[in-house]
Structure 1
Amino acid sequence: MGLSTAFTELFGVEHPIALAPMGGTAGGALAGAVSRGGGFGLLGSGNGDQDWLARELPVLAEESDGKPWGIGFQTWAIDASVVSRALEHRPAAVMLSFGDPTLFVERVRGAGTALILQVTDLEEARRAVDLGADVIVAQGTEGGGHGARHGRSTLPFVPVVVDLAAPVPVLAAGGIADGRGVAAALALGASGALLGTRFQATTESLVDPATAKAIVEGRGEDTERNRVLDIARGSRWPSRYTARTLGHPFLDGWRGKEEELAADPRARQAYEDAAARGEIPALPQWASEAVDLIEDLPSAADLVGTMARQAEDALARAGRH
């Protein structure tokens, strides 16, 4: 049957499955494995740290086996020079998330590189269309990691963005962790799906083994959107973005008391000390509501093919009803 969409045709990939560019987790091996498996791997460059890119880009070039790949950034954390240096490596796409991408659009388009813009509300979606995005990622609040504090759920949000953005291809993101979720995204009119948490739990992920184990054992009801852990670890994430994580001792102790935590340097030092002693995870354990569906740690390359077959089967079953 195959799952050819506007997204797969744009990048010449086999499956409408993309890797979320998770900072510090989606390294060269993971992005390369997703591309090698027929999906679209996106290196998670975060704030564009040059040492990190220098380490991971050669790995990506080797592991992708000549297949297309891209680089993703947190828009609020970068400047134009970061994007310019990334473009020197000739990615097939640059993805910008969380913040106003206007400053970087012409630089990306001028390099002949596809521009992927992630949006978390309709205002951002309209701006992405106006800026000429080649692909738009519609992120729902079920997703793990950071997203809009006052965003919308994936199921109602994606088709609205699809209608608004047409004919620009849209990828669905947030709470998708298997082929059935990919099929649902396609049924909603999206051209594919972008997955994060599911790819954290793979052999190529840079995530700490304890976090991978926690994801495999986790439940969706154990996840929660919060700013507590960003404040506790001194992160500069803008307040409009919260993060969905698994449970955490600091979250239990400071839930609903974010302003008090921000004003208490002793509490933030206690967080750093506990992390240094290994009493708490060094980083929050970001996980989506779909974490229940994750039961193993496969190779990402194999996982892409498995999810594509699951999606084809799900769509075939739906067509028989």
Structure 2
Amino acid sequence: MALSTGFTRLFGVRHPIGLAPMGGSAGGALAAAVSRGGGLGMVGGGDREWLDRELPIVAADGDRPWGVGFLTWAVTSAVVEHALEYGPSAVMLSFGDPAPFVKVIQEAGAALIIQVTDLEEARQAVDLGADVIVAQGTEAGGHGARRGRSTLPFVPVVVDLAGPVPVLAAGGIADGRGVAAVLALGAAGALVGTRFQATVEALVDPAVVNAIVEGRGGDTERSVVLDIVRGSAWPGKYTARTLGHPYLDRWRGREDELVGDPLARRDYQNDVERGVIPPLPVWAGEGFDLVADVPSAADLVADLAAQAEVALDRAGRS
């Protein structure tokens, strides 16, 4: 059974699976491997130095579709325009107002992918002419809406709102059963993040990979604490899902006090420098109970698709 959807037909890919453009870990090699495996690989956005290092890797890896994603609240038009010079098939915008960047992306001939975390954002994405909408549930690792909705109820509502526009589901999807589930909800595919961090090509510290493989989804929590102590300028609308962390234990429930504490960020940096805590939080979604190995990303795409076909066939027979 071929899993042909509006997403696979739009990009000419074999499988309805996309790589979440995770900053710092979704580099050119990972994106290229996902595209090589039949999905849509996307590089996490960054500054020009990062783009000039990572985008040539995926751009040179055969004539396959690939994309790049940006944090809309943090990126500039100049950086988006620079990325477009490498000829991506798609540009994904997340977390913030995508409107200022739509025209330049469309004029470059790249597909416009907009990630949404609530229905207001979904309506805006439709109005702006998004070619693909990503509906992100709160199970997702990394940042998401503070008052968002779970993937299961959120995705079909966005599918109904989007009409003919393909919708990818994101949040807590880590195996083929999850892909099958969101296809059954009407999505045209899945955007997968945490699972791809535990792959050979991901730019992830081995200690982080080990934490993902050995951890459990129940060990994660969504919070603003780590953004505050790291001095990160994320808008207040968004919190981050990470693995447990000493600073979460120290400041949980005292976020307002933390904001006003001038020593907290200094203590955090000192602890990082002394090796007491890891240099970066472990961004991880609730689905990583299902992560048990570290395959190549190309093989993982094929495995996810095959598992999804089996799950859909089993559901149809039952």
Say whether the 8 Å CA contact 2:15–2:38 is kept in structure 1.
Answer: yes
Residue in 2 that maps onto 1:7: 7
**Paired letter, 1:282:** P
What do residues 6-37 of structure 1 show as CA deviations (whole Å, max 9, x unaligned)?
00000010100000000001001111110011
2:202 is matched with which residue?
205
TM-score by length of 2: 0.99
The amino acid across from 1:54 in the alignment is D
Alignment of 1:179 onto 2:176: yes
Instruction: Identify the match of residue 262 of structure 2 among 251, 260, 265.
Output: 265
Identify unmatched segments of 5+ residues in structure 2: none
Deviation per residue, 1:163-195 (Å, 9 max, x gap): 000100000000000000000010000000000
Partner of 1:55: 53
1:96 aligns with 2:93: yes
Contact kept, 8 Å, 1:172 with 1:185, in 2: the verdict is yes
TM-score by length of 1: 0.98
What residue is the counterpart of 2:212 in the other structure? 215
2:188 counterpart of 1:158: no
| Secondary structure of 1:274 counterpart | helix
CA contact (8 A) 1:220 1:292 kept: yes
Q: Deviations over 1:270-318 (max 9, x none)?
A: 1111112222111110111111000111111100000000000000000
SS at 2:79's partner residue? helix
Matching residue's letter, 2:29: A
Q: In structure 2, give the amino acid aligned to 1:176.
A: I
Distance 2:135 2:303 in 1: 23
Aligned position for 1:24: 24
Q: Does 1:137 align with 2:134?
A: yes
Q: Conserved in 2, the CA contact under 8 Å of 1:95 and 1:118?
A: yes
Partners of 1:307 and 1:231 lie apart in 2 by 36
CA distance in 1, matches of 2:259, 2:231: 9
Q: Note the residue ranges of structure 1 that are not aligned, 5 or more in a row.
A: none
Secondary structure in 1 aligned to 2:138?
Answer: coil
8 Å CA contact 1:261–1:268 kept in 2: the answer is no
Whether the 8 Å contact between 2:140 and 2:171 is mirrored in structure 1 is: yes
- The Cα shift of 1:61 comes to 2.4
* Post-superposition offset of 1:81: 1.0
The reply on whether 1:36 has 2:29 as its aligned counterpart is: no
In structure 2, what is the equivalent of residue 298 of structure 1?
A: 295
Partners in 2 of 1:270 and 1:299 — Cα distance? 38
Q: Tell me, what secondary structure is at the counterpart of 1:77?
A: coil
- For the 8 Å contact 2:59–2:86, the answer to whether it is kept is no
Aligned residues: CA RMSD: 0.8
**Aligned AA for 1:34?**
V
Take 2:68 and 2:6, find their aligned partners in 1: how far apart are those partners?
20
Give the equivalent residue in structure 2 for 1:243: 240
Separation of aligned partners in 2, 1:38 and 1:265:
49
- Number of residue equivalences: 318
Q: CA deviation at 1:65?
A: 2.6
Q: Matched residues in 2 for 1:101 and 1:215: separation?
A: 31
Counting aligned pairs with the same residue, the percent is 72
SS in 2 for 1:284: coil
Q: Which amino acid aligns with 1:40?
A: L
